[in-house]
Amino acid sequence: MNRNRTTGLAIVAALSAALLGGCEAPSLGQLFSGEKTQASTEVSGQKPQQEEETNVVKKKQPSLEETIQMVDGVPTVTNPAELTVVVNKKRALPADYIPSDLVEPNVPFPFDEKVEKRMMRAEAAGALEKLFALAKEQGIELYAVSGYRSYRTQKSLFDTYVQTQGAEHAAAYSAVPGKSEHQTGLAMDVSGADAQTRLEESFASTPEGQWLAANCAKAGFIIRYVQGKEDITGYAYEPWHLRYVGTDIAEEIMSKGITLEDYFQQAETAQKQ
Ligand SMILES: [Zn+2]
């Protein structure tokens, strides 16, 4: 019992700094069980069919109210596999949701372990490869720090917090299972070579952080948790947390400086007019 508690505390201590936004997951030795699959670079290529689908999605964007239902008392999204799914503290993913198309993007990672956090959904993984290639062309070196995180991993992390630090501390410092965007397989935390600014707000002022904010939309990513929008997103500023939404929506969100929640609100308002 005592030994477990000590181990738990050690894990918490090691991770507490990085956990404010529920971004970083521990390497709990949970190896991903699927075969290693490289994301096809074709995924990010221009496919007429995909563009068509994107346009359809844009025109028929369901409102946030239409994509939520109560499941065991928890407001849960009805569209977990959509590239436009909105997950936040008020909108959980189903506990049993595991993306069906997780692959490992062919990009640099700052660790060697074959853990699940290397993975992303296929389209997002292809887009990440495209983004990293673009960065490299321009002399910017990026690393993929943390991508997919299963409900199970998030739950064991959260439970460790509750057991060692109490429920209140857990709620403040770790995402509740199901409410981490990393479970969608569409998010990736990114850093430069400098470990000092990894998953730190100071990353925003590094050349890599600035490049990322200016260019991520070109590959279909947004900075999901932006400065000054904490009341809307529910999270502090996280200049390292990329979320894939596709280029059309990403360009609109990043050029307007809005959040994913704002985007849906504005789309809904526009449809009513
Ligand atoms: Zn993150």
Distance 188 CA to ligand 1 centre (A): 6
Distance 187 CA to ligand 1 centre (A): 6
Across 256-262, average pLDDT: 96
Delimit the domains of the chain by residue range.
2-25+43-272
The radius of gyration of the chain from alpha carbons, rounded to an integer in Å, stands at: 18
- The model's pLDDT over 154-165, given as tens digits with 9 standing for 90+, comes to 999 899 989 999
- Residue 127 confidence (pLDDT) above 50: yes
Distance 241 CA to ligand 1 centre (A): 4
Distance 234 CA to ligand 1 centre (A): 13
- The model's pLDDT over 136-184, given as tens digits with 9 standing for 90+, comes to 999 999 999 999 999 999 999 899 989 999 988 877 667 889 999 999 9
Cβ count within 10 A of residue 119: 26
Distance 48 CA to ligand 1 centre (A): 31
Distance 271 CA to ligand 1 centre (A): 31
Distance 18 CA to ligand 1 centre (A): 10
Cβ-contact 187, 181 below 8 angstroms: yes
How far apart are the C-alpha atoms of 11 and 160, rounded to whole Å? 8
CATH number of the structural domain 2-25+43-272: 3.30.1380.10
Distance 233 CA to ligand 1 centre (A): 13
Q: What is the pLDDT of residue 172?
A: 67
Distance 261 CA to ligand 1 centre (A): 17
For 166, residues 6+ apart whose C-beta sits below 8 A from its C-beta are none
- The model's pLDDT over 17-50, given as tens digits with 9 standing for 90+, comes to 334 455 654 443 333 433 344 454 444 444 444 4
User: In terms of pLDDT, which residue wins out, 236 or 229?
Assistant: 229
